[in-house]
Structure 1
Amino acid sequence: MDISQPKLTPKILWLMTISSGLVVANNYYNQPLLGLMAKDFNVSESQISGITMFTQIGYACGLFFLIPLGDMFRRKKIILIDFIFIISSLLAMAVSPSVKLLLPISFIIGFTSVIPQLFIPMAATLAAPEDKSKAVGFVMSGLLLGILGSRVISGYIGDILGWREMYFIAAILMGIVYIFIYVNLSEIYPQFKGNYKNLMLSLVKLFKSDPSLRFAALRGGLSFASLSAFWTPLVFHLEENFHLSKGTASNIAGKFGLVGAFGALAAALMGKVIYKFNKNTILIFTALMIIISWIIFYYGGYTYIGLTIGIILIDIGVQSTQITNQSIIFSNHPEAENRVNTIYMTSYFIGGSMGTFISAYAFEMYNWAGVVGVGGLFALIMLVFHLILMKK
């Protein structure tokens, strides 16, 4: 039986946008807190960086195994059940007695905190055809502000109260969001007919049949690898090369997140104007912007102003790439938006975990120059592949 879907009202759009920001923040609270965690457990920088990597791998797995369910089951029900696991994992993080437990708990936090990737295609589904890119850009701007704000908040709270307290506060926030979603979110009914096995097999079919989806996934993964290569070792860079204490470095690393708000503004703007320009041309410019940011990090990365300018450019470049990629894949597959978003975002966060892993070791071996080399190389590879593949 055909069940009409609700319309995307401003109230629902704002609810999805704010909820996306607050939920995705769970994945990024750890970055400014790594120095404090390393001190608390008396472990090395590369060992504690595994927390960020496990969170990103968990997020990628959650995207792959959970998000396709949005095409098969009622989305509000999925979201509310998932919130129970989010809150439980955040509380477990706050009371964990060892690094060995932090790693699997971080994986679970990432695995469950994928709700924004249900909201983004939901916005595209419910919006009028002419407003799809605008709606996606609006929800994405909330998600990005959540990522950036999480670093500011966790850096400040970590410095004042401690890293465990940050996770207790996060659990409380998730309880509040749960209530708002339970009361206000409209139910979205699925379109896919079949079992979970067929649902997952359809991911393979989509990936094989659509080169534009494969190319978008590759660009997204490489762009996020470049961005993650910067943010993960930043707190250690501030400690070692700016001679700051762990608490102060954590606080300042968080405040740099405010600078990245330009990326969120770029996402909202890109959603409004993207249809006016050739997408291949946009992607060339965004890749060049990311490369230029790494050149600035190389020459100016030992000054606050150099880091600030570089952060503005890399965030605008990466988030504009993201919006352009998602605009391409959603317009090609309106009947399978959750599944194509799964493919894209899984690649995106696999790239992020690669950037985190490699840059952590690059910093340990070659200091800031190693980080710049890793991040710049990911951006350069993205540009080269795009120039080659856009002709096909």
Structure 2
Amino acid sequence: MRSSNSSETPLTRGLIVLLAVGAGLAVASLYYSQPMLGVLGAELNAAPGALGWIPTLTQLGYAFGILLLAPLGDRYDRKRIILAKSAVLAAALLLAGFAPGMGLMLAASFTVGLAATMAQDIVPAAATLAPAERRGAIVGTVMTGLLLGILLSRVIGGFVAENLGWRVMFWLAALAILALALALWRHLPGFAPTSRLPYRALLGSLGTLWRQHPELRRSAIAQGLLYMGFSAFWSTLAVMLHEAPFHLGADAAGAFGLAGAAGALAAPLVGRVADRHGPARLGRLGAALTALSFASMALLPALPPSAALWLIAGSAVGFDLGIQMSLIAHQSIVYGIDPAARSRLNAVLMTGVFVGMAAGGALGSMALAHWGWVGVTALATATAAGALALRTLPRRPARVAQCEA
């Protein structure tokens, strides 16, 4: 099989856009159901408690997929993996659209999460095809698509469900994935495997990579800490806005989520900064901006409600951008550690992100219950400061590899 790399396969602007759209459509599949749970539950006669398992199983499927499936990109042709996951994802979305009851809906939700990890195959594919001097900018562009998929999926899902029905949303999503698969089949080059390890050894090598590469550990822990504060904020914002002095509904909390678009749209520019000045510096700047943005919200209790809302919005723009800066920096660092292990390195990095988000949701709720919004702000600021401290520690050289790639 012909290897596809930056020297043999020109990475055209059209292909970059296609990869960005692919990452966005894949990850959007995780979130379409969230705004539709009310109408979906009414038609399927599901209790509110049972409905909560739909997004939960989708996220669990995604977590398992990152850990168990993403490393396969080093062992097999990444293009075939992406196309196979596209087919499974389209089938799972169709199954969700036709589901007569909660049993099939839950099974489809878990499968959607597993197959949506094709987004985590697309990003390393872009990094592999990109020339080293443009890798940050290209990865940033693909991440723009991924982040816009997250941001817009809930809006689109709610609109389509309200006007055309929730089943139509799943069907349209499946058709979009099939169209994407056709375009990728025609335009995405093949990738030669970079490892001969069998599956069990491939998974075992995740631990070996973790032990061998201090920069991988530093990047995964730092990004996990940043997402811990991120998750603590967003998981408690709706509760905080519902209470005095704001008395706002869930739609207001959702509107603040649009602030994340600033980070998404800035991703290509951020990637160019990483290419020009180095990802380590960008990572420090991102962590510092995140810490300052979270810390600024300590002023909320002293402000009138209208000014406090503006501060929350401005802070959200700041920490979303800071976290995006750090993510692109850490991806650039991790992808440069060992080109033959990019899929596994990405799996380790994104596992750190997922663990941070899960822990942040739990710790944020505890902080809000015991210390109010000040506690949430303190938690988020502390985690961002911890990430900044990790990024400023002196580097240590990686240990020499002891196992076959």
Q: TM-score range by the shorter chain?
A: 0.7 to 0.9
In the alignment, the residues of structure 1 paired with residue 88 and residue 384 of structure 2 have an alpha-carbon distance, to the nearest angstrom, of 35
Q: Does 1:319 align with 2:339?
A: no
In the alignment, the residues of structure 2 paired with residue 372 and residue 27 of structure 1 have an alpha-carbon distance, to the nearest angstrom, of 28
Match of 2:86 in 1: 83
Q: Residues 28-76 of structure 1: CA distance to partner in whole angstroms, max 9, x if unpaired?
A: 34555678789985647xx976655554443232112111111111222
Q: Residues 322-345 of structure 1: CA distance to partner in whole angstroms, max 9, x if unpaired?
A: 011111111221222112111111
Q: Give the C-alpha shift of residue 125 in structure 1.
A: 1.3
Letter in 2 for 1:70: G
In the alignment, the residues of structure 1 paired with residue 241 and residue 105 of structure 2 have an alpha-carbon distance, to the nearest angstrom, of 24
> In the TM superposition, what are the counterparts of 1:379-390 in structure 2 within 5 Å?
379-388=384-393
Q: Residues 172-221 of structure 1: CA distance to partner in whole angstroms, max 9, x if unpaired?
A: 33233233223332222212223212322322221111111111010111
Letter in 2 for 1:345: M
Q: Does 1:309 align with 2:334?
A: no
Over alpha carbons, which structure has the higher Rg? 2
Q: Rate the CA distance shift 1:87–1:375 in 2: closer, same or farther, 3 A.
A: farther
Q: Does 1:340 align with 2:340?
A: no
Q: Residues 84-112 of structure 1: CA distance to partner in whole angstroms, max 9, x if unpaired?
A: 332343345554745x8876654433222
Task: Indicate conservation of the 8 Å contact 2:19/2:142, yes or no.
Answer: yes
Match of 1:119 in 2: 122
Q: Give the C-alpha shift of residue 352 in structure 1.
A: 1.7
Equivalent position SS for 1:189: coil
Q: Rate the CA distance shift 1:18–1:90 in 2: closer, same or farther, 3 A.
A: same
In the alignment, the residues of structure 2 paired with residue 369 and residue 155 of structure 1 have an alpha-carbon distance, to the nearest angstrom, of 32
Match of 1:174 in 2: 177
Q: Give the C-alpha shift of residue 19 in structure 1.
A: 0.9
Equivalent position SS for 2:316: helix
In the alignment, the residues of structure 2 paired with residue 4 and residue 178 of structure 1 have an alpha-carbon distance, to the nearest angstrom, of 19
Equivalent position SS for 1:28: coil
Equivalent position SS for 2:156: helix
How many residues matched? Answer: 385
Task: Indicate conservation of the 8 Å contact 2:295/2:378, yes or no.
Answer: no
User: Greater shift after overlay, 117-126 or 164-173?
Assistant: 164-173
> In the TM superposition, what are the counterparts of 1:95-244 in structure 2 within 5 Å?
95=99, 97-98=101-102, 106-157=109-160, 166-240=169-243, 242-244=246-248
Task: Indicate conservation of the 8 Å contact 1:294/1:372, yes or no.
Answer: yes
Q: Give the C-alpha shift of residue 272 in structure 1.
A: 0.9
Q: Give the C-alpha shift of residue 312 in structure 1.
A: 0.6
Q: Residues 251-286 of structure 1: CA distance to partner in whole angstroms, max 9, x if unpaired?
A: x44443432121123321121121433544433332
In the alignment, the residues of structure 2 paired with residue 162 and residue 235 of structure 1 have an alpha-carbon distance, to the nearest angstrom, of 26
Q: Does 1:358 align with 2:363?
A: yes
Q: Rate the CA distance shift 1:97–1:309 in 2: closer, same or farther, 3 A.
A: farther
Q: Give the C-alpha shift of residue 129 in structure 1.
A: 2.6
TM-score if structure 1 supplies the norm length?
A: 0.83
Q: Give the C-alpha shift of residue 319 in structure 1.
A: 0.6
In the alignment, the residues of structure 2 paired with residue 367 and residue 165 of structure 1 have an alpha-carbon distance, to the nearest angstrom, of 41
Q: Rate the CA distance shift 1:294–1:169 in 2: closer, same or farther, 3 A.
A: farther
Task: Indicate conservation of the 8 Å contact 1:289/1:314, yes or no.
Answer: yes
Q: Any gaps of 5 or more consecutive residues in structure 1?
A: none
Percent identical residues: 35
Q: Rate the CA distance shift 1:50–1:376 in 2: closer, same or farther, 3 A.
A: farther
Task: Indicate conservation of the 8 Å contact 1:152/1:254, yes or no.
Answer: no
In the alignment, the residues of structure 2 paired with residue 389 and residue 56 of structure 1 have an alpha-carbon distance, to the nearest angstrom, of 35
Q: Rate the CA distance shift 1:190–1:107 in 2: closer, same or farther, 3 A.
A: same
Q: Does 1:63 align with 2:86?
A: no
Q: Give the C-alpha shift of residue 83 in structure 1.
A: 1.9
User: Greater shift after overlay, 337-346 or 257-266?
Assistant: 257-266
User: Greater shift after overlay, 118-127 or 152-161?
Assistant: 152-161
In the alignment, the residues of structure 2 paired with residue 103 and residue 133 of structure 1 have an alpha-carbon distance, to the nearest angstrom, of 38
Equivalent position SS for 1:114: helix
Q: Rate the CA distance shift 1:16–1:4 in 2: closer, same or farther, 3 A.
A: closer
TM-score if structure 2 supplies the norm length?
A: 0.81
Q: Give the C-alpha shift of residue 372 in structure 1.
A: 3.5
